[in-house]
Amino acid sequence: MSAIDWELVRSSLGPLFDGLVRGTLPLTAVSFVLGLAIALVVALMRLSGRRLVAGVARAYVSVIRGTPLLLQLFIVFYGLPSLGITLDPWPSAIIALSLNVGGYASEAVRGAILAVPPGQWEAAMTVGMGPITTLRRVVLPQAARIAVPPLSNTLISLVKDTSLVSVVLVTELLRRAQEIAGQSFEFFTLYGVAAVYYWVVCLVLSFGQTRLETRLSRHVAA
């Protein structure tokens, strides 16, 4: 008997693809966008120069980076109900993942903002821009280029981290594989197909990262 049941592979492709497209990908996309927004706010808080504001941001990053994502997920899904806050699996998953991405990505965003030369701020100020306009028109467009490699790492990690939310009953790729494997007992086959799906998504994202880096670097000296 072969380890791989090819008939099962073929019949599971559709349901697992469904788990990918309706679970993993939207979870990734929504959490990444929300996470980036959080990251920008947290990075600006840390750069604000106000001790209290920067301290809050620093504490947030420290807690997010210092505790397991699975635990963060458990706190949102199983812990918050004891405080009277009960959330469905999907919102719980998105909140936990976004907060996690926000913590990690804020460091990349902060580093990228700091990497834009001070002369750019000065030049913007001398033509009359205030701090917010300078950030929007001058600094962030340049910081974006610098932040692409680290943020791509965060995104690719996130694709795989979404598998953790299977434990709070969100139906995504891994959970779908578990369900089918639980009926057929073909664990190797099902988890193998799921692994290939994850890998292909990450391959596509890596390819996208290279294209984006090239595009954003076109006006910058080598």
Partner 1 sequence: MSTPLLEARGLVKSFGANRVLRGVDVAVPAGSVTCLIGPSGSGKTTVLRSLNGLETPEAGTVRIGDVELDWATRPEARAVSRLRGQSGMVFQAHNLFPHLTVLDNVTSGPVFAHGRPRAEAQEEARALLTRVGLSDKADAYPVQLSGGQQQRVGIARALATRPEVVLFDEPTSALDPELVGEVLQVMQSLAAEGWTMVVVTHEMRFARQVADQVLFLDGGVVVEHGPPSEVLVEPRESRTRQFLHRLLDPL
Tell me if 142 contacts partner 1 by CB under 8 A: yes
What is 41-108 written as a DSSP string? HHHHHHHS--HHHHHHHHHHHHHHHHS-HHHHHHIIIIIGGGGT----HHHHHHHHHHHHHHHHHHHH
Compute how many other C-beta atoms are within 10 angstroms of the C-beta atom of residue 192. Answer: 16
Longest dimension (CA), the chain: 76
| In contact, 24 and 201? CB cutoff 8 Å | yes
Rank residues 51 and 219 by Cβ distance to partner 1 and give the closer one: 219
Cβ at position 121, least distance to partner 1 in Å: 9
Q: How far apart are CA 32 and CA 162, in angstroms?
A: 11
The tokens 């004891």 sit on which residue? 82
| In contact, 19 and 173? CB cutoff 8 Å | yes
Cβ at position 35, least distance to partner 1 in Å: 24
Rank residues 138 and 194 by Cβ distance to partner 1 and give the closer one: 138
Q: Which of 52, 127, 211, 214 forms a contact with partner 1 (CB under 8 A)?
A: 127
Question: Where in 61-120 is the site for partner 1 (CB under 8 A)?
Answer: 117, 119-120
Rank residues 62 and 120 by Cβ distance to partner 1 and give the closer one: 120
Cβ at position 123, least distance to partner 1 in Å: 4
The mark string for 143-162 relative to partner 1 (x by CB under 8 A, - otherwise) is: --x-----------------
Which residues are near partner 1 by CB under 8 A? 117, 119-120, 122-130, 133, 137-138, 141-142, 145, 219-221
